[in-house]
Amino acid sequence: MNLVAESARLEAESPRARLAWAVDRFGSDLLFTSSFGAGSAVLLHLWSEVARDLPVVLLDTGFLFAETLAYRDALVARLGLRVEVVRPAVDREAFLAEHGRTIMQFNPDFCCQHNKVDPLAPYVAGARGWVSGLRRDQGPTRAGTAILEQRPDEAFVRVHPLATLTLAEQRAYLVDHDLPEHPLVARRYLSIGCEPCTRAVAEGEDERAGRWSGTPKAECGLHVAR
Ligand code: SF4
């Protein structure tokens, strides 16, 4: 497959068609991870339509908002999703006891490595494709997101069906399909990850400005380099 040409061709297709292409191409070797965060219902809804029998992987770091877990339960009931929950090898309390309760403030890369990157590694190793909901308008670290991407050190293809979607289109999709939004969005949490590393954003701030706020860190390392 000429990945660059295929990615360029998929630019003109809908998010649904891009996802269907990936399901057709990779079958059960297609990994789909969702944070069940703000706007996640778009891709989860599409997944329920074109890949209903394949699992959705939720990484539960132990630091997620209670609202995220409730939102997951609501979407699973509504969309009939099959969710596989992945957890770190060392649970939250043991991790904090060993590394300190403020580890995520003074070494967030270490915390993300242990609680996000490492637990997903076996899933990533077995995948030929990995679907995630990155959008180009989420901020500078995601502005160059291609529909399809294969990095030199990775054996799988990253698939971003929503890359061209705007925040306004994402919101419209939820309304048009009568899908609930994450309850914290109403309080201006526009990008939602672990509770200790997420804050609400002010009017005019970047959508992801509330992630690891006050530090140079902008990404956990799963989808975009830290
Ligand atoms: S987002 Fe924060 S709490 Fe979650 S794994 Fe990364 S540093 Fe730790």
Q: Whose CA is nearest to atom 1 of ligand 1?
A: 194
- Look at residue 138 and tell me whether its pLDDT is greater than 90: no
Both structure tokens of 178: 């009568």
First to last CA, the chain: 29
> Other C-beta atoms within 10 Å of 137: how many?
17
Task: Map 73-104 to HEC letters.
Answer: HHHHHHHCCCEEEECCCCCHHHHHHHHCCCHH
- Measured in Å, residue 220 CA sits from the centre of ligand 1 at 8
57 lines ligand 1 (CB under 6 A): no
Q: Whose CA is nearest to atom 6 of ligand 1?
A: 112
What is the predicted pLDDT for the residue at 226? 56
Q: Span 210-221, mean pLDDT?
A: 82
Q: What whole-number distance in Å separates Cα of residue 144 and Cα of residue 132? A: 15
Q: Whose CA is nearest to atom 2 of ligand 1?
A: 197
115 lines ligand 1 (CB under 6 A): yes
Superfamily of structural domain 3-172: HUPs (3.40.50.620)
What predicted TM-score, i.e. pTM, was given to this entire model? Answer: 0.94
- Measured in Å, residue 185 CA sits from the centre of ligand 1 at 20
Q: Is 194 a catalytic residue?
A: no
Residue type, 89: A
What is the predicted pLDDT for the residue at 218? 80
Question: Residues 36-95: pLDDT tens digits?
Answer: 999 999 999 999 999 989 999 999 999 999 999 999 999 999 999 999 999 999 999 999
Q: Span 160-188, mean pLDDT?
A: 97
What is the predicted pLDDT for the residue at 225? 66
CB distance 41 to 174 below 8 Å: yes
Torsion sign (Cα): 4, 143, 21, 35: positive
- Look at residue 223 and tell me whether its pLDDT is greater than 80: no
Q: Span 179-185, mean pLDDT?
A: 97
Which residues are 158's β-sheet partners?
Answer: 130, 149
- Measured in Å, residue 108 CA sits from the centre of ligand 1 at 6
Q: Whose CA is nearest to atom 8 of ligand 1?
A: 111
Residue type, 24: D
Cβ contacts of residue 159 below 8 Å, gap of 6+?
Answer: 18, 19, 22, 30, 129, 130, 131, 132, 147, 148
